[in-house]
Chains A and B, each alone.
Chain A
Amino acid sequence: MFTFIVRRIIQTIPVLIGVTILTFSMMHLIPGDPAQIIAGESASPEQIELMRERLGLNDPLPVQYFDYIRGVVTGDLGNSIRSGRAVSSEVFLRLRPTIELAVYSTILSVFIGLIAGVFAAVRRGGLSDSLVMIVALFGLSLPNFWLGLMLIQYLAIGIDIFGINTGWFAASGWGTWQQQVLPVLTLGTAGAAIIARMTRSSMLEVIDQDYIRTARAKGVKERVVIYRHALKNALIPVVTVVGLQFGTLLGGAVLTETVFAINGLGRLIVDSIRARDFPIVQGGVLIFALLFVFVNIAVDVIYRLLNKRIDLN
């Protein structure tokens, strides 16, 4: 297993190189002259030239790229244009709420998704199966910014029902649990729906397998047959979906953080795009990409722990 993990990490090197090339080129793909943008609208040509020299924009591209990589490896991602502070510290400061949001949403969607999926699969073809699947289809189809706004409207601002105001939760920020409930719901809903559907179809496939019949013939309780013998097999494809879902969550975090005014990385990136603070955007995207790559390594490891048939080497 150890060698597998090491090998898997080595395999990510090309991916990481690709990611750095992409983020590096962002600087050059933006319309206009980065030096002009960074120096400001009213800068004189001399100031712009000075900025160009400072940013190394006069060097050949490969040299610029290796300078950039050297910076990335040593944790130097440049400085924010707006605040002048190091990008790395700005980004890491904002990283925590985003990761918390993504992790809580993943936990929520896995929890609800698995329960709903197993529930529906066991009652295949029944009314409750159809109901769960219809709800899941809704959950999947709701745009998450809209869901966020609706949740704010009805559960943060609240409406009066029989004299009770439903504004139980906070509409913005991140810190107390009242602030965390709605964003996590917003971000976790689509994932829960996807996982529920995936779990259901995977369970249906497994339930008809011969080894499930063997377990029943052994005198195993139905609950144990479902959760021990069937679910562990059904989880194998679901785990992959959870990994990919985590990436979607990071993307979704950009919207959710904006709707709920959470000072996370997603919002930082959006604000920085508006303010044309490109070093921050660059750094933020790089961190997102790294997170995604490492979450998927973790998923691969879990996948192989579950699926004994895959030879580690």
Chain B
Amino acid sequence: MAETTDILVEEPILEVRNLQTSFFTKEFEVKAVDGVNFAVPKGKTLGIVGESGSGKSITSLSILRLIKNPGKIKGGEIIFKGENLLDKTESQMRQIRGNEISMIFQEPMTSLNPVYTVGQQISEAFIIHQNMSKKEAMLRSVEMLELVGIPSPKQRVKQYPHELSGGMRQRVMIAMALACDPELLIADEPTTALDVTIQAQILELMEDLQDRLGMSTIMITHDLGVVAETCDYVAVMYMGKVVEYATVKDLFKNPKHPYTVGLLNSLPRHDIDLGEEDLTVIQGSVPAPDQIPEGCRFAPRCPFASDICHERLPHLEQSEDGNQIRCWIYTDEWDGDPEVNVNGERTS
């Protein structure tokens, strides 16, 4: 019953193997991340996609070991540059956070400390990780603000977060995350809280900086449009598990998992007019965490589900092209319609 853990990716900078993170309440355990596997190739961008509650944010917080009580990382391995982060001490982890692995959060409005200036907050990274003096750090902070495209950075550096707009604040967050030249950047829905026009600017900035600084990125999002634009690989998550892992090209051209198809179908397209009923939704909603289905997690909402889907959980299997899929349809044990064509259900 071994899960597939070997991921055919050239030179992964980060490999997550069978990661399990749970939250414990008095009555039951909520398995927010339940055996997740994926790899981030060096210099590339991995997208993690899924609905709210699919465990994508918890996965990213687990990588930095920022899970707080009552949450706990129960098992698995997080291999960063050949070393398991779960074996590190807390002080070793602090050396990595904000230095080798940085994170950008969803809410730029609340993710900056209101009582310190923008400059003080960026400086802190330099002071902690590069032993700079306050003065040096402040000069570097000005440079960072310039790098992320903030006009008149010398004045901005002395301002407090409430004096900046949402887009500006997200730029500050990016400046802070990139201060110490991280090898891996985790962006947790970096554009979700922003206006559409600002979203595009921020994504463009991130791509540009990634090219210039040569870092690897994990882009967490529920927006497949963002994935198409920025990612090289995608892991689709559903209820704490990866259900499909593929290159962006393959995923959009030939999605395999019914859930992925559902996500793609709910994406509006403006290149073809599909008439009135052009947007479909995935039927039902994500079950409550204490009502996890017995078999495949997606079976209750899956239009193709057959008996085996409700009984047993499929494994994440690797196909010849290196992509991975967790679905009975692609196995020998499939007991439903042998002619089933998941991709044929695509409406967009």
Contact = CB atoms under 8 A, between A and B. Distances in A.
A-side interface mostly: helix
Nearest to A216: B66
Contact of B125 (A219, A222, A229, A232): A219
A126 to B, nearest CB: 11
B107 A309 contact: no
A138 interface: no
Contacts of B296: none
A215 B121 CA distance: 9
Contacts of A222: 90
A193 to B, nearest CB: 26
Contacts of A227: none
Interface in A271-313: 306-309
A209 B114 CA distance: 11
A220 B114 CA distance: 17
A12 interface: no
Interface string B97-125: 11100110101001111111000000011
A219 B114 contact: no
A211 interface: yes
A308 B111 contact: no
Contacts of B96: 219
B176 interface: yes
Interface in A214-243: 214-222, 229, 232-233
A209 B110 contact: yes
A213 B111 contact: yes
Residue of A209, A220, A229, A308 most packed against chain B (CB within 10 A): A308
Given A217-B66, A217-B103, A218-B128, A211 B160 contact: no
Given A211-B114, A308-B162, A309-B160, A217 B107 contact: no
A53 B160 CA distance: 63
A210 interface: yes
Contacts of B94: 219-221
Nearest to B101: A217
A217 B114 contact: no
Contact of B128 (A213, A219, A307): A219
A220 B66 contact: no
B173 interface: yes
B113 A233 contact: yes
Contacts of A215: 113, 124
B201 interface: no
B301 interface: no
Contact of B110 (A210, A216, A219, A221): A210
Contacts of B98: 217-220
Contacts of B103: 217
Contacts of A309: 114, 160, 162
B165 interface: no
Contact of A216 (B95, B97, B160): B97
A313 B229 CA distance: 45
Nearest to A305: B115
B158 to A, nearest CB: 11
Contacts of B124: 215, 218, 220
A127 to B, nearest CB: 15
Contact of B115 (A217, A218, A220, A308): A308
B184 to A, nearest CB: 12
B72 interface: no
A307 B97 CA distance: 28
A30 B146 CA distance: 72
Contacts of B176: 214, 218
Nearest to B186: A217
B59 to A, nearest CB: 15
B140 interface: no
Contact of B105 (A213, A229, A233, A307): A213
B134 to A, nearest CB: 14
A125 to B, nearest CB: 9
Nearest to A125: B69
B113 A218 contact: no
A210 B105 contact: yes
A16 to B, nearest CB: 33
Contacts of A219: 94-99, 125, 128-129
Contacts of B64: 217
B94 to A, nearest CB: 5
A96 to B, nearest CB: 36
Contacts of B160: 308-309
B113 A211 contact: yes
Interface string B162-174: 1000000000010
B112 A214 contact: yes
Contacts of A211: 110-114
Given A219-B95, A309-B114, 14 more contacts: A209-B110, A211-B114, A215-B124, A217-B64, A217-B98, A217-B105, A218-B98, A218-B125, A219-B97, A221-B94, A229-B116, A233-B113, A307-B115, A308-B115
Nearest first, the 4 closest Cβ-Cβ pairs linking A and B are A218-B98, A219-B97, A219-B98, A210-B110
23 contacts: A210-B105, A211-B111, A211-B112, A214-B105, A214-B111, A214-B112, A214-B173, A215-B124, A216-B97, A217-B64, A217-B98, A217-B103, A217-B105, A219-B94, A219-B98, A220-B98, A220-B124, A222-B90, A307-B114, A307-B115, A308-B114, A309-B114, A309-B160
